[in-house]
Amino acid sequence: MKMQKTKGIIKSLVKSTQNKFFPKKTYAQHQEDIVLLELFDRIETFIDIGANDGISCSNTYLLALQGANGLCFEPVKLNYTFLKWLYVFNNKVKCIQEGISNEVKQLEIQRDGLLSFIPETRDLKLEGILNQYFSKTVEKEIISVKPLNYWLDIYTEFINCDVLSLDVEGHELYTLQSIDFSIFKTKCFVIETYGHVHRDYDLINTLLNQHGYQALLENDLNTFWFARELVVQSSFVEKVNAIPKKFSEYKLMYELDYCQH
């Protein structure tokens, strides 16, 4: 483990330097980062919950490279170590070794291959999809979790943010329930739902609808919910409508006329 950690830290430092000067076009699985930049031109702030090592399949790393301020959460000790060292020279991105949930408590988390999950909220509906990422070695540790608003009281600059990316392997609903929507605002939620396969998809959609967010775009992995004040702007809806024409992995969830009502 110590050798793995040392190699990972060195790799994170090398990646940090390389990507600063020679950034890739995208770091996300389905160009989510590029899509966000197409829609918003420039992103000033982001929150990444379940950031992992910060670069692997990341929706937000490109945004950080382009100068955005970020708040990243990763509770797994090894992953957090790589995340911290990835951003060691970037003081605009804050990294926190905790999870986000609807209560202040400690939980057991399991790390299996590239994935980590809380056993009580593991989404068994996704196992068939995720089996390719599982290893035969499961490592367990105890993590701390708090509601998002605990951290927003400290880092108030993220109370109004451009993007919140959420990928916590089945714990998404509990994470969203931790948010005080009377205080927190974002233009866009990007949530890993595997289309509508996620066990809590309907509950997530209902919760976000209640607080003024509409799902408009999806790919095989992620669903994009946008603030309704954007959805009623014809210029923004035109941008959304153009995404599937530019990115074949994406599809619209509603027709343009529906969005304008």
Residue 255 has pLDDT above 90, yes or no: no
Tally Cβ neighbours within 10 Å of residue 31: 21
Compute the average pLDDT of residues 173-196.
96
CB 25 within 8 A of CB 56: no
Q: Helix 2-21 and helix 77-86: axis angle, to 10°? A: 30
136 pLDDT band, cuts 50/70/90, is low
Which range has the worst mean pLDDT, 116-120, 136-140, 181-185?
136-140
Q: pTM of the prediction?
A: 0.91
Superfamily the domain 2-256 falls into = Vaccinia Virus protein VP39 (3.40.50.150)
3-state DSSP call for residue 140? Answer: strand
- Neighbouring C-alpha atoms within 13 Å toward the C-beta of 118: 25
Compute the average pLDDT of residues 2-23.
76
**Residue 16 confidence (pLDDT):** 78
3-state DSSP call for residue 195? Answer: coil
- Tens digit of pLDDT for each residue in 200-224? 999 999 999 999 999 999 999 999 9
**Residue 257 confidence (pLDDT):** 53
The C-alpha atoms of residue 50 and residue 116 are separated, in whole angstroms, by 9
Map out the domains of the chain as residue ranges: 2-256
Residue 128 has pLDDT above 70, yes or no: no
12 pLDDT band, cuts 50/70/90, is confident
